[in-house]
């Protein structure tokens, strides 16, 4: 389907296996065979993958976290000249905690065509087998390693009402689990997934407290997907709390009707119930 592209070529994001080569799709192989140029994070790693599937004689361009920004003009130029440029990463779907986002933005802004060949993703695989809610979730990728940004992101997990998915490297797993425990409490449920689709695939389920004990006893290996259960909704306010809030509003000179409306909005309680409490406050005084 045409998207009104001004450029004659296209950028194709091609998902590759995250561990098991059997997960490579026929469409992905064909997309790589038909590409004029293939962008990859590591030519040695991707070269082996391409050779395994009989994709040879392709020009390879290194696109990683250090080169992606500077390579945008070259890729846009290739697409504008009519070339089909395929983008792969070391594993999984490009653009998800991997290079790809900046290239997509550059090609789209230049009026080029961008498409993708879907496939393996550690994010979705870990989520759907976690046993935690999947209808609503938020993906945080790798947390910042330190500083205010990390503190802020961790604070958001405290009240996040959706399932949270993160990636973490083995040497930082213990610190991240410890920080999550501080932010969310020891009894928040968590799932740790590693070696997905590989021979020694491991899915561990428990609480954050148990997870900290696990990594203290067993050295983490391989990259992890962390799936954290949503925060439980806060307990509804008691009538005593609502009455106290109503009295505080009335003490400011606010009418009982408006006090009830304000308190209803603040606590998310039915306005009628709060107004009935406000009437009782009037009668008591």
Quick: pLDDT tens for 248-276.
999 899 998 999 999 999 988 999 999 89
CA atoms within 13 A of residue 155's CA, in its CB half-sphere: 6
Nearest to 99 by CA among 89, 91, 108, 109: 89
| pLDDT tens string 114-129 | 999 999 999 999 999 9
pLDDT for 2 equals 47
- Distance between CA 285 and CA 264 in Å, rounded? 21
| Angle (deg, nearest 10), helices 173-184 and 208-217 | 160
pLDDT for 1 equals 46
Answer yes or no: is pLDDT of 157 > 70.
yes
- Distance between CA 179 and CA 30 in Å, rounded? 44
Confidence of residue 4 (pLDDT cuts 50, 70, 90): low
- Sheet with 224-228: strands ordered across: 137-142, 163-168, 224-228, 189-194, 202-207
Burial of 40 (0-12, 13-18, 19+ CB in 10 A): buried
pLDDT for 235 equals 84
Query: What stretches of 37-146 show up as alpha helix (H) in DSSP?
Result: 43-52, 68-80, 101-109, 122-129
Confidence of residue 95 (pLDDT cuts 50, 70, 90): very high
């Amino acid at each position: 389907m045409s998207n009104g592209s001004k450029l004659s070529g296209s950028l194709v994001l091609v998902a590759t296996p995250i561990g098991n080569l059997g997960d490579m799709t026929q469409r992905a192989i064909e997309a790589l065979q038909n590409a004029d140029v293939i962008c990859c994070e590591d030519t040695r790693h991707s070269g082996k993958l391409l050779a395994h599937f009989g994709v040879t004689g392709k020009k390879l361009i290194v696109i990683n976290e250090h080169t992606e920004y500077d390579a945008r003009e070259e890729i846009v130029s290739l697409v504008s000249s009519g070339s089909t440029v395929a983008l792969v990463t070391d594993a999984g779907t490009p653009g998800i905690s991997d290079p790809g986002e900046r290239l997509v933005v550059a090609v789209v802004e230049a009026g080029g065509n961008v498409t993708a060949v879907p496939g393996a993703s550690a994010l979705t695989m870990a989520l759907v087998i976690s046993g935690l809610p999947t209808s609503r979730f938020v993906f945080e990728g790798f947390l910042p390693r330190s500083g205010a940004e990390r503190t802020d992101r961790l604070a958001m997990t405290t009240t996040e009402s959706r399932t949270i998915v993160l990636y973490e490297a083995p040497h930082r797993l213990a610190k991240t689990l410890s920080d999550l425990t501080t932010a969310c409490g020891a009894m928040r449920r968590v799932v740790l997934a590693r070696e997905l689709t590989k021979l020694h695939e491991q899915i561990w389920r428990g609480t954050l407290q148990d997870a900290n004990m696990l990594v203290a006893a067993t050295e983490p290996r391989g990259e992890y997907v962390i799936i954290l259960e949503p925060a439980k909704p806060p307990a509804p306010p008691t009538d005593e709390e609502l009455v106290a809030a109503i009295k505080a509003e009335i003490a400011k000179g606010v009418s009982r009707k408006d006090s009830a409306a304000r308190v209803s909005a603040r606590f998310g309680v039915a306005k009628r119930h709060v107004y009935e409490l406000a009437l009782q406050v009037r009668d008591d005084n």
